[in-house]
Structure 1
Amino acid sequence: MKQFRVDQSLCIQCAECVKDCVFGLIVMQDGYPVLPADKEATCIECQHCLAVCPSGAISILGLDPADSLPLAGRFPNQQQMETLIKGRRSIRRYRPEPLPAETIDELLKIAAHAPTGVNSRGVEFIVVEDPATMDAIRQETMETLQDLARKDAIPDHLVCFRHFVPLMEQGLDPIFRRAPHLLIASAAEGVPTREADVFIALSYFELLANSAGIGTTWLGLAKWAMVDLAPRLLRSVGVPENHDVVYMMLFGTPDVTYYRTVQRDQDAKIRRLVK
């Protein structure tokens, strides 16, 4: 049951919820919006009806509209977003101290609001919070790469890993960059737009983290190591076997400060369609 409720004492009968319903499920009856029982199964729980109601009269899924954040005047302006997008850097120098668990939890809960195809909300996060677990992942990855190098089993298109092995044996960390935290985002095979959903969720997480002064790095190297070279590493960190799309991100407090944006406007590739 979707628990669609209308507080008639607050409803101004504007029908905005009817107009904005993605699949046109909500209808007006006797002057008030209704979600017919025979249409409930089609509802994708997007909560547009709750969000679009100007008077806070609509409740769905048992949610109280009073618990939602008000939006008027609270979005960052374009200049602020420009600075955030242009100013974020891939951080490869981190302080060793882990972030508070409550900070990580808050970031992930907010990032879970990222859009997904047909509102499937199938992205799952696995987060490494403690330094001991990060050290164990580093060690297991190094030992796996050492074994593959001895067997000459590293393919030519991943030749960089052959060079990483001696660096890791010297105590360097060319893959995980001594970051205190690792975030693995995955989605099950049945999720309709799982690859896009994963990348969108991580993009939201990255911008949110950077707005809080937390650095991030998209970790393609670990994806190649864990997905392409040694899938068992994914199992060892808890990724379910039916999750076949995954990407990773390092994060933590940066040990470097950047003072200005880079200049890439000239790199924008724009093709305008003109009939």
Structure 2
Amino acid sequence: MSFIELDTERCVQCELCVKACPVGALGLGESGPEVVLEGVCNKCGHCVAVCPKDALNNRYASLISQKHIDTYPVLDAETAEIFLRSRRSIRYYKKRAASREQLLQLVNIARFAPTASNSQSVSYYIVEDRSVLDELAELVVEWMKMQIATGEYHHSFPVHIDAWKNGKDTIFRGAPHLVVAAAPKELKNRRDNTVFSLAYLELYAGSVGLGSCWAGLFEMFASANDEYVSKRIGIKPGLMLTGAVMVGVPVERYLKLVNRDPLDVTWVD
């Protein structure tokens, strides 16, 4: 059974679906597109999305599951630039928790991020209880102390240890929640996929009244204590932690767009 279904009355044989297929699974036959390579479809749905007549259906990425848009890109260039440059790492949060609806909105948008060969496979674990983060933060601090004793540690470790001694959390920055991503251990691009997905989450956070920041210190600790962290968070067997982002309602509101170093570009002829 072919993985595509064709409405021959609608199809105008424009060949757009054939050209859009990234793996060359489709070819143009007498009646329209047909499968020329079985078993290689990566379920991206490009063939369905590009068809101007809604003549094609793919059982791996059905027509009915793809939302129609009238214009592309949806944002004009200026609006898109402002949106992207307005994203900032938030390190100061209100104590009140975000709603489950807000948190679900974040991880739901994250799953639409691009992944290598459309492999997807990123799972999300949301820590809701702040006491769990306090427990984990203390473990991170104790681990940093041990790293210092070995002589192999990041230069910032003493600063974070001193902050913790003085009652200040610089591990999770007082955030009420932590979003942890996990992916199959055997997946080659698990970290790349995670970075894209959590970048989507961060960009979207402001739209639902939240802020976020990568939990880099916790990631370092988790990398060295994978078995313990996976068990504490409840990560399913076969998966490993691939990223973590703290999330909460920001205290401050930034009034300026992000600036960076001057553009470094080289034209190659």
Confirm or deny a common fold (TM above 0.5): yes
How far, CA to CA, are the matches of 2:75 and 2:53 in structure 1?
Answer: 24
* Residue number among 245, 249, 252 corresponding to 2:248 in the alignment: 252
> Residue deviations 1:92-122, cap 9 Å, x none?
1112222222232232222211111111112
Partner of 1:49: 47
Task: In structure 2, give the amino acid aligned to 1:6.
Answer: L
Partner of 2:58: 60
Matched, 1:214 2:210: yes
Q: Where in structure 2 are the equivalents of 1:115-126 lying within 5 Å?
A: 115-126=114-125
Task: In structure 1, give the amino acid aligned to 2:12.
Answer: I
Partner of 2:7: 7
- Partner SS, residue 212 of structure 2: strand
Partner of 1:100: 99
Seq. identity, %:
27
> Cα gap change, 1:178/1:154 in structure 2, threshold over 3 Å: closer, same or farther?
farther
Gapped runs of 5+ residues in structure 2? none
Q: Please report how far the alpha carbon of residue 73 of structure 1 lies from its aligned counterpart in structure 2 after TM superposition.
A: 2.6
Q: Please report how far the alpha carbon of residue 257 of structure 1 lies from its aligned counterpart in structure 2 after TM superposition.
A: 0.8
> Residue deviations 1:236-266, cap 9 Å, x none?
11335654562211112111111111432xx
Q: Please report how far the alpha carbon of residue 207 of structure 1 lies from its aligned counterpart in structure 2 after TM superposition.
A: 0.9
Matched, 1:81 2:80: yes
How many aligned positions are there? 268
Contact 2:92 2:175 in 1 (8 A): yes
How far, CA to CA, are the matches of 1:27 and 1:144 in structure 2?
Answer: 55
Q: Which moved more, 1:41-50 or 1:27-36?
A: 27-36
- Partner SS, residue 229 of structure 2: helix
Partner of 1:273: 267
Contact 1:154 1:229 in 2 (8 A): no
Q: Please report how far the alpha carbon of residue 54 of structure 1 lies from its aligned counterpart in structure 2 after TM superposition.
A: 0.6
* Residue number among 62, 69, 85 corresponding to 1:71 in the alignment: 69
The TM-score with structure 1 as length reference comes to: 0.84
Partner of 1:184: 180
Contact 1:142 1:165 in 2 (8 A): no
Contact 1:97 1:180 in 2 (8 A): yes
Gapped runs of 5+ residues in structure 1? none
* Residue number among 223, 241, 249 corresponding to 2:219 in the alignment: 223
Q: Please report how far the alpha carbon of residue 10 of structure 1 lies from its aligned counterpart in structure 2 after TM superposition.
A: 2.4
- Partner SS, residue 17 of structure 2: helix
Task: In structure 2, give the amino acid aligned to 1:96.
Answer: K
> Residue deviations 1:190-220, cap 9 Å, x none?
2232222111111111112233332111111
- Partner SS, residue 108 of structure 2: helix
Aligned Cα root-mean-square deviation (Å): 2.7
- Partner SS, residue 125 of structure 2: strand
The TM-score with structure 2 as length reference comes to: 0.86
> Cα gap change, 1:187/1:150 in structure 2, threshold over 3 Å: closer, same or farther?
closer
Matched, 1:21 2:21: yes
> Cα gap change, 1:217/1:54 in structure 2, threshold over 3 Å: closer, same or farther?
same
